[in-house]
Chain A
Amino acid sequence: MGALATAAVLVSLLYLGLLFALASWGDRRAERGRSVIANPYVYTLSLAVYCTAWTYFGSVGVAAAQGVGFLPVYLGPTLLAFLFVGFVRKILVIAKAYGITSIADFASARYGKSGTVAGLVTIVALVGSIPYISLQLKAVATGIGLLIAHDGSGAVLSGLGADTALIVTLLLAAFSILFGTRHIDATEHHQGMVLAIAFESIVKLVCFLAVGVFVTWGLFGGPFDLLDRAREAGLGDRLGFAGTRLTAADWFVLTLLSGLAALLLPRQFQVVVIENLEIGHVKRASWLFPLYLLVINLFVLPIALGGLILGGSTREADSFVLALPLVHGQGWLALLAFLGGLSAATAMVIVETVAVSTMISNDLVMPILLRVGALGLANKPDLTRLILGVRRAGILLALLGGYLFFHGVGEAMGLVSIGYIAFAGVAQFAPLLVLGIAWKGANRNGAVAGLLAGFLVWLYTLVLPSFVTAGMLPGSLVAEGPFGFDLLRPTALFGLSGLNPVSHCAIWSLAVNTGLLVLVSLLTRPSDLERLQAILFVDVEQSRRTPRLWRGEARAGALQELLVRFLGRPAADAVWRTEAARRGRPLEPDEAADAGLVERAERQLARAIGAASARAVIASAVRGETVGPDALMEILDETQKVLEYSRRLEQKSNELEAATAELRRANERLQELDRLKDDFLATVSHELRTPLTSIRSFSEILLDNPDLDAEERAHFLRIITSESERLTRLINDVLDLSKIESGRMDWQVAPADLGEIVRAAVRAAEGILTERAVALEVAIPAEPAPVVCDRDRVVQVVLNLLSNASKFVPKPGGRVRIELLRKDGVFEVRVEDNGPGVPPAQREVVFEKFHQLTGDLNTQKPTGTGLGLTISRQIVERFGGRIWVEDSNLGGAALCFTLPIDEAAPALAA
């Protein structure tokens, strides 16, 4: 091994040692309560674990082959970061409220603390992580290989090539185990680790920029020179969109996928959510993180173009960052470049394996072990060692998986292609996560169905073809479809072709995943616990006070034993001291644990072993029923009922108010009617008393004055007679009106001839008219005027109009004209006179009860009852007609009424 390679190994070991020291220091500071990472800058730098060897080496590779095609991977997270304050903040609130330890735990807790969901998410995360880890291994191994090759020890290289990767793998595994599994509590923040990866983010940024500056200004005369040379080399086209060899849809889908990955990749969820110390940090990170991405990508194109101009091929472009300084004799810069790549890779591996191994232990292995009663695990005195052991095994598993993938597939593929497989894999969490915090209706069955289907589509459309690329499966599978089924071609499913395989996979898998999640959720009933958890997650701001989940008998001592077993003695004692402080007295082992204690114990356990396991553990220890779902739902239902009741009360009171208002209106109306009736009675009384007064007065006068002369006697007697007649008329009219108004009138409805009716009325009125010397003119056509009515009543109307008219005409010289006309659909009867007429303002009033038409009072006061027109109107309207007053051609008033023509009359049909 040459000098450079040796130096690289030494520097790497030193670097890892430095990281370890840094992490230990960070942890110690945290233990003393003087955190060095509690600020948005370290938080931002920790998010930059997003930039791995993929970014460091792979972006240049993509840029060399596809120009700006590497950019969606960073534009997506930029857009996501803008949603930090909204969307991601809610996830953080939920995670903190419920002690979430990983994305699998989050999903499980949301879907009724389901072990199935937790396990499934863990498997998908693990399977998705393996190619991604292999990418890091490949990058580091390739880097070391390059350094060794440069030293010229070719023989050593060919023998060591594969071993390098294995050595790197084992070294990283050991380092991650040392790093990641020092604590049992998975929610307790790994402050040392965060500090270390934040430091690594600075290292990789500085190193990459150094290489970029070297290429741009060292190998070329600045960016413009570089551009000129690129154009001369015919590379100009590569910078256009055509150079990306992507479609518009690919560009969009890759942006979306990357945005999702920046949150959903196990390591991203770890740093964004689990390791977050203060929710407030996301604010500044939401623009600082994109800024970091922008800066680290500034020199990707220059390095790629520079490498190509200087004779590199696109196939080797993944190693331009390292190769360019190396080829140009900059040994120390090459070493720096290698160190940057190493830092990018180690940061990813550390966080990813910590996240994945936590999931493996908490969400996959422990729940299974705890459920296998034969192991008697729940009764083992100390489980912390077991849990840590499982996590260590998980780390080793993930790294070895990565190594195997690298060997089987990774060597045949570019770094970025491998990364995209992981992106599309973890994107399968998006539907259950996004819908999970936004839609209460999403349930466990839907989540499982969607995730499982999305996962399978992902395996089929993206992972399977990668095995084909690696030559592990026959090429015909992709080219022709399985068994020659063209529609089932993995990269052109059901004929969806022309897309980049990654967007093809993303479109199909996410569509199937989301569709099934929604569909199955709508079709299946969630359990009560799922409903509860859904409410707790979706309405997290309102339901921060978690309902008590346990009711039942548990001794405090039993709980303590559990905590000791799962958390270890010191942690359990700490919890117990807090409980004692809360009560102000130590807890007796035999005392009954209240619901609050049980719940807090469960919470503590969940922090260590996840929600699903904690629930199983507590269930085993708490004797008696759990509160569960049924009782809990009872409580919820009770609340619901109270709410419903109060809603109904409110509704009732609104109804009451409305009813009261209606009653008030009705009462007002009644009072109005009563007043009208009173007025009517008073008026009737007045109208009756007036003729009575005359009758009584003159009767008494006649009685008391027998000496009156004959003429005077006769005069007085005539007055008595006429007043008596007036009284009779009045009584008849009042009776008629009251019958009509109360609907008790006995109408004799039959077809009749209006002409005949008018003639009959004229005959009856002749007496009065002659007496008053009124000249009557009659204009009635000979042909019949068929109507349907009560003949006698209509005669009464016409008679009334004629008698009215006769009262107002001048004496002498009075003229009345009665006319029957046929108009549009009606017959109209007009009674005109040459009297004083009715002023327009009075034309409606005359139809009111007891409205006396006051004409010229030189004559005697009219002797009408004041009810005639009122009754006439009632009668006419009863038969569908209309009655009104207008000006007369004779100079006075015209009282007119209509009745509808009887269309069924035979006379008309003829």
Chain B
Amino acid sequence: MAKRVLVVDDEPNIVLSLEFLMRRAGFEVQVARSGGEALKALEGEPPDLMLLDVMMPEFDGYEVCERIRARPDWNKTKIVMLTARGREAERERGLALGADAYVTKPFSTRDLVDQVKRMLEVG
């Protein structure tokens, strides 16, 4: 059974590219365009991994991350934070909030796909 990946970003073109990449890598892809949508998507069956943008309207990536980690039943979901803000402090903040990886935009598509595969222990 294919692993499921949730892509969360408010930038349509980025969502499009991530969706394409994850599909190609053989994952089942779900899309959310805001923090609120992302949390809704987690209800029911949580995905194996999330690609989570930090800068979003309403509540941002950090907050989403925090909420997820507050729920024990969502513990298995791996979180990769994506951000256009590359500062070290922000990276640490993300990791401290329970993110598993932190990727700075723009990223190498191959590296990202490799990292996701590694984290989901496939291929």
CB distance B108 to A690 under 8 Å?
no
B93 at the interface (CB under 8 A from A): no
**A685-B84, A686-B85, A701-B21 in contact; A693/B107 too (CB < 8 A)?**
yes
CA–CA, A695 and B55, complex, Å: 19
- Min C-beta distance of B22 to chain A, whole Å: 12
B105 neighbours in A (Cβ, 8 Å) = 689-690, 692-693
A697 touches B109 (CB 8 A): yes
Cα of A700 to Cα of B109 in the assembled complex, Å: 7
CB atoms of B20 and A701 under 8 A apart: yes
Report Cα–Cα, A697/B13, bound state, in Å.
10
Knowing A697-B106, A857-B33, A861-B12, the reply to whether A690 touches B84 (Cβ < 8 A) is yes
Q: Is B87 an interface residue (CB 8 A)?
A: yes
CB pair A700 B14 closer than 8 Å: no
Whole-angstrom distance between the alpha carbons of A857 and B109 in the complex? 27
Fill in one digit per residue for B1-20: 1 if any A CB lies within 8 Å of its CB, else 0.
Answer: 00000000011111011101
Roughly how many angstroms separate A331 CA and B45 CA in the complex, as a whole number? Answer: 143
User: Are B17 and A690 within 8 A (Cβ)?
Assistant: no
A888 adjacent to chain B (CB < 8 Å): no
Partner of B14, one of A686, A694, A701, A705: A694
Asked if B57 is at the interface of the complex by the 8 Å CB criterion, the answer is yes
Does any Cβ of A come within 8 Å of B110's Cβ? Answer: yes
Say whether B13 contacts A719, CB under 8 Å: yes
Contact between B110 and A704 (Cβ–Cβ < 8 Å)?
yes
* B26 on the A face (CB < 8 A): no
Instruction: Tell me the minimal C-beta distance from A838 to chain B in angstroms.
Output: 16
A696 at the interface (CB under 8 A from B): yes
Check if B24 is an interface residue, CB within 8 A of chain A. Answer: yes
Check A698 for interface membership: any CB of B closer than 8 A.
yes
User: Is there contact, CB below 8 Å, between B110 and A693?
Assistant: no
Chain B, 84-114, CB within 8 A of any chain A CB: 84-87, 104-110
A907 on interface, CB distance cutoff 8 Å: no
Q: Convert A287-309 into 0s and 1s, putting 1 for each residue whose CB lies closer than 8 angstroms to a CB of B.
A: 00000000000000000000000
Residues on the B chain within 8 Å of A524, using CB: none
Interface residue total, chain A, C-beta cutoff 8 A = 24
In the complex, what residues of A have CB within 8 A of residue B85's CB?
A: 682, 685-686
- For B87, the chain A residues whose CB sits under 8 A away are 682
Q: Does A854 contact B (CB under 8 A)?
A: yes
> Does A723 touch B at the CB level, under 8 Å?
yes
Given known pairs A682-B85, A861-B10, A861-B12, the reply for A701 and B106 (CB within 8 Å) is no
User: By the criterion of a CB under 8 Å from any partner CB, how many residues of chain B are at the interface?
Assistant: 26
The CA-CA distance from A698 to B14 in the complex, in Å, is 9
How far in angstroms is the closest Cβ of chain B from A713? 12
Inter-subunit contact B12/A705 (CB<8 Å) = no
Whether A742 sits at the interface, judged by CB under 8 Å, is no
Nearest opposing residue in chain A for B57, CB measure? A854
User: Distance in Å from the Cβ of A859 to the closest Cβ of chain B?
Assistant: 10
Residues of A within 8 A of B104 (CB): 689
Q: From B18, which residue of chain A is reached at the shortest CB distance?
A: A697
In the bound complex, CA of A693 to CA of B54 (Å): 14
* Min C-beta distance of B108 to chain A, whole Å: 7
Query: In whole angstroms, how far apart are the Cα atoms of A841 and B123 in the complex?
Result: 52
Report chain B residues within 8 Å CB of A693. Answer: 11, 14, 17, 84, 105-107
Q: Which of A690, A693, A694, A704 has the most chain B CB atoms closer than 10 A to its own CB?
A: A693
Closest residue of A by beta carbon distance from B33 = A857
A860 at the interface (CB under 8 A from B): yes
Q: Are A694 and B13 CB-contacts (below 8 A) given A700-B110, A701-B21, A705-B24?
A: yes
Q: Which residues of B contact A687 (CB under 8 A)?
A: 84
| Closest-CB distance, B10 to chain A (whole angstroms) | 6
Task: Give the residues in chain B near A719, CB-CB below 8 Å.
Answer: 13, 16
B contact residues around A705 at 8 Å (CB): 24
Near B by CB (< 8 A), chain A positions 823-874 give 854, 857, 860-861
| Residue pair A723, B13 in contact (C-beta under 8 Å) | yes
Among B14, B34, B86, B105, max chain A CB count under 10 A is at B105
On whether the beta carbons of A696 and B110 are closer than 8 Å, the reply is: no
Please, how many angstroms separate the alpha-carbon atoms of A688 and B104 in the complex?
13
B16→A685 contact, CB < 8 A? no
Q: Which of A689, A695, A854 is the most central at the interface, judged by chain B CB atoms within 10 Å of its CB?
A: A689
Q: Which of A685, A688, A694, A857 makes the CB contact (< 8 A) with B17?
A: A694
Q: What mask results when residues 38 to 66 of chain B are scored 1 for a CB within 8 Å of chain A, else 0?
A: 00000000000000000101000000000
Q: In angstroms, how far is the closest chain B Cβ from the Cβ of A683? A: 9
Interface string of A527-546 (1 = CB under 8 A from B): 00000000000000000000
CB-contact partner of A860 in B12, B14, B17, B108, under 8 A: B12
Q: Closest Cβ of chain A: how far from B44's Cβ, in Å?
A: 23
Point out the residues of chain B lying under 8 angstroms from A857, CB to CB: 33-34
Q: Which residues of B contact A692 (CB under 8 A)?
A: 105-106
Q: Give the residues in chain B near A700, CB-CB below 8 Å.
A: 108-110
A697 to B113, CA, bound (A): 12
Whole-angstrom distance between the Cβ of B56 and the nearest chain A Cβ: 11
CB nearest to B20 among chain A residues: A701
Interface centre among B14, B17, B87 (most CB of A within 10 A): B17
Distance (whole angstroms) from the CB of A564 to the closest CB of chain B: 96
Residue of A685, A690, A697 touching B21 (CB-CB under 8 A): A697
From B20, B33, B57, residue with most partner A Cβ within 10 Å = B20
What is the CB-to-nearest-CB distance from B29 to chain A, in angstroms, rounded to a whole number?
Answer: 14
Query: Which residue of B has the minimal Cβ distance to A723?
Result: B13
Residues of A within 8 A of B108 (CB): 696, 700
A701, B34: Cα distance in complex, Å = 24
With contacts A682-B87, A686-B85 known, is A701 near B17, CB below 8 A? yes
Name the CB-closest residue of B to A678: B87
CB distance from A860 to the nearest CB of B (A): 6
CA distance A695 to B14 in the complex (A): 9
Give complex CA distance A860, B18 in Å.
Answer: 17
Q: Which of A689, A698, A723, A861 contacts B84 (CB 8 A)?
A: A689
Chain B residues with Cβ under 8 A from A861's Cβ? 10-12
The answer to whether A704 touches B109, judged by C-beta atoms less than 8 angstroms apart, is yes
Q: How far is the CB of A734 from chain B (nearest CB, A)?
A: 15
Cα A453 to Cα B74 in complex, Å, equals 111
Interface positions, chain A 412-445, Cβ under 8 Å from B, are none
Rounded to whole angstroms, the CA-CA distance of A316 and B90 in the bound complex is: 119
Cβ contact of A694, chosen from B11, B33, B34, cutoff 8 A: B11
Cα of A719 to Cα of B57 in the assembled complex, Å: 23
Write out the residue numbers on chain A whose beta carbons fall within 8 Å of the beta carbon of B109.
696-697, 700-701, 704
What's the least CB distance linking A726 to chain B, in Å?
10
Q: Which residues of B contact A694 (CB under 8 A)?
A: 11, 13-14, 17
Q: How far is the CA of A700 from the CA of B108 in the complex (A)?
A: 8
Spell out A's residues near B (CB within 8 Å): 682, 685-690, 692-698, 700-701, 704-705, 719, 723, 854, 857, 860-861
16 A-B residue pairs with Cβ-Cβ distance under 8 Å, sorted by A, are A685-B84, A685-B85, A685-B86, A686-B85, A688-B84, A690-B14, A692-B106, A693-B11, A693-B17, A694-B13, A695-B106, A696-B108, A697-B21, A705-B24, A719-B16, A860-B12
**Further 19 A-B residue pairs, CB within 8 A, beyond A693-B84, A693-B106:** A686-B84, A687-B84, A690-B11, A690-B14, A692-B105, A692-B106, A693-B17, A693-B107, A696-B106, A696-B108, A697-B14, A697-B17, A697-B106, A698-B17, A701-B17, A704-B109, A723-B13, A860-B12, A861-B11
Pairs A-B, 4 closest by C-beta atoms: A689-B84, A697-B17, A694-B13, A686-B84
